[in-house]
Structures are given as C-alpha cells and as structure tokens.
Chain A
Amino acid sequence: MLEIKNLHASVGDVEILKGVNLSVNAGEVHAIMGPNGSGKSTLANALAGHANYKVTAGSVTFDGKDLLAQPPEQRARAGLFLSFQNPIEIPGVRLDHFLRAGLNAVNKSKGLEELDVLKFDRLIAKKVKVVEMDRAFARRAVNEGFSGGERKRSEILQMAVLEPKLAILDEPDSGLDVDALRVVSEGINELRSPERSLLLITHYQRILSYVVPDFIHIIVNGRFVRSGGKELALEIEAEGYDKYTEAAGAPAGE
C-alpha cells in the first residue's frame, strides 16, 4: 500500500530525513519510535504534503501511485490521513462544518454521494460516540480552546469520519490521561481492518499494548536504524535510545 524508498527531506536548508525506507502492506500496523527531533513528525508531514517539508530525494508510492506528485488534498482524497502531533486552532470554523466539507470533498472525488446537513448530522452524532464526546463537541470551533486531550480526540474523530486507508498517527497518545488513552486507542482500533493500515508514531509502549503493532521501527537522526516486532518497544522502554544515538552520532538537523 505504501512504499517509501530512500526518502530525504529538509526543513529550510537542513536535511532531516536522510534516506528512509519503509514498506507497509494493507492491514498492517507499523509503529515508529525514536528520540525527540529524530524526524518522526517530519516524515509524517512530508507524507501528508506539507510545503515546509521539502523532499529532496527518494520516492513514495501510495496504492501504486506517485504520492509526492500529489497536492495534500489529493493525498487525503486518495485515503491518506494525518493525525497531527499538535493540531492547530481554527477560530470561527466549526469542527462539524469543517468535517462535512472534508468528507464531501473526499466523496465527490470518488463519485460518491455528498452528504447534506441532515445526513451528516446523523453521521457525526454516531461518530462522536467513538471518542466518547457529545454532539456539542463537534459544534465548537476546530481545536479552539480544546484541552490537549480534546485535541487528540478531535483528531481521532476526524479519522473516524473520513475512514482513511492509511492513517499516520503522530503521537496520538501524548498528554492523555489513562481514560483518554483507552478511548483514543479504541478509536484507532475501530478503524483497523484488513484493507486499512496504520503508521503509529509514539514514545511509549503503553499505547502499543492497546494498538498492537506488527512492526516497530526505530528512527534516529533521520534514518531507520532498526526494525523488529512488538517486543522492540519493551526493549526501548528499558534501555532507551543510547546505543542507537551513539552509533548515529549527532541528532538530526545538526
């Protein structure tokens, strides 16, 4: 489904990703772990098409098509979703209005029915339950005044509505209390299916006991330095990244 080959990406003049290779098949869950500043969010943003993250070399195909040639909205319409590490506030724009516009843009590109206000209302009323929020939550302006946990729930709600093929989740667990972690994890698991894949970026093993990955990749200084099964998370939890960072030298960006 996703094929990343020798991906290099820069922010400004600084190269952050220095040759990332990754292959994700339908139905798989891949976790990505790595120290702060190692390039995890850079990878996520480059895949989603943020203009500040410039791909300087390498290729990415998504469903057999060149992903990097597509503008961000086309990637979204093709079924790629990014749950942001730090979702931005959009004052004056209601979450449900925004989501209806997004879903209809996706549906339209697929020749599917666009939902009118009433139909979307029924859908959103159902989907807010996934993240254990009430209908009023989706009437608030996007992320405006949301607590850290609410922002993460809002991202998962958006994912639940858009039902992407590939969800890239950039630290969906950071800043969550135990109950919210369970809710968010269940929301993620609800999306799992043999046709859908997840790229889950996290620092903690805890979410991985809910959302069990098929593979774990360790990224250090803009490169994947090790890949393995779910047991790798426990090893990181116990030992940290020291042995990788020493080998890799300076952190990314320096």
Chain B
Amino acid sequence: MTTQNIPVSNLDQYIAAFEGLEQNGAAQDPAWLRQLRLDAFHRFTELGFPTARRGNEEWKYTDVGPLAKTAFQSPASTAVPVLDFQSVQPFTYGGATGNRIVFVNGAYSESLSSVARHPESLTLAPFSQALSLDGDLVQRHLGKNADYKEQAFVALNTAFLHDGALVHVPEGAVVEEPVLILHLSADGKDTVTHPRTLVVAAKDSKVTILESYGGLADGAYFANAVTEIILEPGAEVRHYRMQRQSEQAYHVATTSVTLSEGSSYTSVALDMGGKLTRNNLNALVAGEGASCVLNGAYLVTGRQHVDNQVIIDHASPHTTSRELYKGVLDGRSQAVFHGSIIVQRGAQKVDAKQEDRNLLLSDHCEADTRPAFWIYADDVKCAHGASSGKLDDDALFYLKSRGLDEQEARSLLTKGFVHDITATIAHESIRAHTEAAVSGWLEKL
C-alpha cells in the first residue's frame, strides 16, 4: 500500500466477490488464468484505490472516493435480461455488421452476438470459447500489456477476469467489416462489471474495431474496462471507442496498446455518458517506424466529470504520434486532459504532437489541461497546444444573420468544433452515426 492510495475499505465484500467468481464457473478456467486473477487480486488489495491527494499528479483532479466507498455487487448471472437487437442498436453506431460480440451486464450474449471463427481472416470469440480453442494465444498476451502491478483499476479488472472478447486477425489478413465489441449495462444500481478485450493484429493485418459502452438503465453502476491491443509488425488497427453510460454511472477504462515496427494505430474516442469517466490510454510505441494517431472528443454537462489520461511512450526511433482531443463542456461539468509523452533514450527522430482544445458553453464548467514531456533523446520534435474558450460572438452573429436562432447557432458551431474529431473516423457509416450521436447530445442541452 503506497501513501498515494486509499485502502480498500470494504475489503470483505471484494473478497466475497472474488470467491464468488470461482463458484460461478471460473474455477474451470485454466490454472494460469486462475493464478493471474489471484496475483492481481493480491496486488489490488495492496494498491487500494488511487487518491486525489496532492502530489499524486495522475489522479489530482479526479476523485474516486465515492467509487471506492460504494459496495458494488456483481450482477446476478440469473438476472441477465433478454434483449432484442433493436434496443441495443443505438450503441452500435452503424458498425453492427456480421462481426459483433455483445456482453450484457458482463455476460456474453450469444443471441445478440455474431461471432466469427475463420482461421484465414478473423477470430472473434468470447473467452469462454477462446480459452480452450485459442488458449496459447490468449495466454501469450492477456495481462501482458495492461499493467496490473501498478494500476489499481487494471488490477481490479484482472482479479475478476473471466469472460471477455478476443479479436485475432491472422498474418496478412484484411478485415473489411468493422468488428463491434459492445458492453451494455442493463440493470442499474450498484453493480460492477469488468469488461475485458484482447485484440491481436498479426503481421501486416488490417482491422477496424468499434468498442462501445452503453447503459440501458439509469443507475450508479460501475464499469471497469480493460482493453489490450497488440500490433505486430506492419499491422494497421483503427479503433473507435464510444462511451454512453448512464448519467449516474462510473466508467473507468484502460486501453493499453503495444505497437511493433511499422505498425499504425488510430483511435477515435467519444465520451458522452457517465457521471465520472476516467480513460487511461497507454500507447507503447515499441517498434521503429510505428505511428499512432489518438483523437478524442468528450461532451459533458450537468455535473459530469471526464478525465482523459493519455501516455505515449516512444521507445523506438523514427516513431510518430499525433494527439488531438476536443472537449465540449456545459453546466457544471469538469474535464481533465492529461497527456504525457515519453521519448526514451536513443529514440531519435521521434515526432510527437499533442493538442487539447475545450469549448466552454457555460460559465460554471472547468477544463484542466496538463501536458507533460519526458524526453531522453536530443533529436526529436515535440509540440503541444491547449486552449479553452467560449463560442465566438461574431460567428454566432453570422449564423443568426442567416435566420438561425441562438440555440440552432450554438448547436451548429459546437458540432463544427467537434467535427475535427468525428471527421477522422474513416468508416463512413460509423462516422455518420457518430455525428448523429453528437447532434443528439447537443439537442438535449
């Protein structure tokens, strides 16, 4: 237990839940996985929850105290509701193709899913199948990228790791249709799920992943997600992450990406839901010539709090990263953007650029941008920019002079502000649905 953390106050409850998992079928999991869970659980009890206390830069602006104090229950496995596809459609963002895997309250939904097992092109499977059929692959990568030894929420997720989604794209395969991974919370109060995803894009493969989180019921539930993505040499992954949890929900998501040489990773994240959202995006740019583009938009209102922590670790020379995050804040919302760029010793010719722009629609919202650079090489290019401001009066007047009223003008300008981000979604239908979701959010203001 470090001084930076809050001890787990309701430890008994977590122990009971951990033991309960084994009784609910997890005891049949392979020995290595059971050991991984045990190690992670121990580590979680040691780490406790991070505190927003001074000096703890990573958590300075985000208080997980209320989350730490709540005694979340695992959703009862008998209570998994039967959903028709219609009701989950709003969370598919035009990416509901033949390749989709759906989890409801943390449990794999066979009826909503359409998984794939094509050794030549794509494996999309729940862990319940993958652990036996793709056991070696899963064991080789699971838990190796997202660091449960240092990050409390990863430790907690890993301690409860049982089901999840595996995406494997074999060498040279190009998957045209996007792969949809959908995690839904359908019953409200005080339940916790630990969504887990593993994506392995083998050498020179190409795939588009749409990872979506949504709440079908209002409630103060907690989703604690971990996604690991491995890009082998030359692989190309486009990753779209959409989050529309209930407005009382806690959403903590860790995405750990490892890039080998010549690979390229693009992510576009859109956060609109959640009372408290914390995204950790860690990209280890480990291979020469690898590049990543990390874009995101967050739209918050009321008393929502969203915190994006992006760490890009340039471990190899000739690697590039581009980060553009844009926030729209209304009401009394708060947003934090904490972008760290590390350039390791010897990683010459790194080219990194980071930008965070916030649009403040009310006088009571607050945006904090914290860039950090740790540079241990001398021949590098690093740039960053940040701003927050209101809508431009002259722009508003221009729109009104053509007949738009205040609300329409504000909405159109705000959409224009976010457009930079949504425009980077290469998949046309996903882009259109995402833009529509942004419009829908704006209409409710």
Contacts and interface: CB of A to CB of B under 8 A. Distances in A.
B394 A88 contact: yes
B405 interface: yes
A110 to B, nearest CB: 10
A75 B403 CA distance: 8
Interface string B399-419: 111111110110011011111
A91 B398 contact: no
Interface residues of A, number: 33
Given A92-B418, A93-B419, A98 B403 contact: no
Which label, helix, strand, loop or mixed, suits the secondary structure of the B interface? Answer: helix
B395 interface: yes
Contacts of A109: 403
A48 B403 contact: no
Among B394, B400, B405, B417: residue with most chain A CB under 10 A? B400
B393 interface: yes
A73 B404 contact: yes
B417 A48 contact: no
Contact of B401 (A82, A91, A93, A101): A82
A77 to B, nearest CB: 5
A25 to B, nearest CB: 23
B395 A90 contact: yes
Interface string A152-179: 0000001000100000000000000000
A90 B406 CA distance: 16
A88 B398 contact: yes
A49 B401 CA distance: 8
A98 B402 contact: yes
Given A91-B416, A92-B419, A105 B408 contact: yes
A141 B417 CA distance: 11
A219 interface: no
A98 to B, nearest CB: 7
B420 interface: yes
Contacts of A93: 412-413, 415-416, 419
B397 interface: yes
Contacts of A102: 399, 402-404
Contacts of A98: 399, 402, 412
A51 B403 contact: no
B400 A73 contact: yes
Given A91-B416, A93-B419, A73 B398 contact: no
Contacts of A75: 401
Residue of A72, A77, A106, A142 contacting most chain B CB atoms (<10 Å): A72
A98 B411 CA distance: 11
A99 to B, nearest CB: 7
A90 B398 contact: yes
A241 to B, nearest CB: 29
Nearest to A162: B402
Contacts of B403: 73, 76-77, 101-103, 105-106, 109, 162
A229 interface: no
Interface in A70-129: 71-73, 75-77, 81-82, 84, 87-88, 90-93, 97-99, 101-103, 105-106, 109
Given A73-B405, A76-B403, A105-B403, A50 B397 contact: yes
15 contacts: A52-B393, A72-B397, A73-B400, A73-B403, A73-B404, A73-B409, A76-B402, A90-B399, A93-B413, A93-B419, A101-B399, A101-B403, A102-B404, A105-B405, A105-B408
Interface of B: 392-395, 397-406, 408-409, 412-413, 415-420, 423
Given A49-B400, A91-B420, 18 more contacts: A48-B401, A51-B393, A51-B397, A71-B405, A77-B403, A88-B392, A90-B413, A92-B416, A92-B423, A93-B416, A98-B399, A101-B403, A101-B412, A102-B402, A105-B403, A105-B405, A141-B416, A158-B402
Interface of A: 48-52, 71-73, 75-77, 81-82, 84, 87-88, 90-93, 97-99, 101-103, 105-106, 109, 141-142, 158, 162
Q: Which 10 A-B pairs have the closest CB atoms?
A: A92-B416, A92-B419, A102-B402, A93-B416, A105-B403, A76-B403, A72-B400, A106-B403, A73-B400, A102-B403
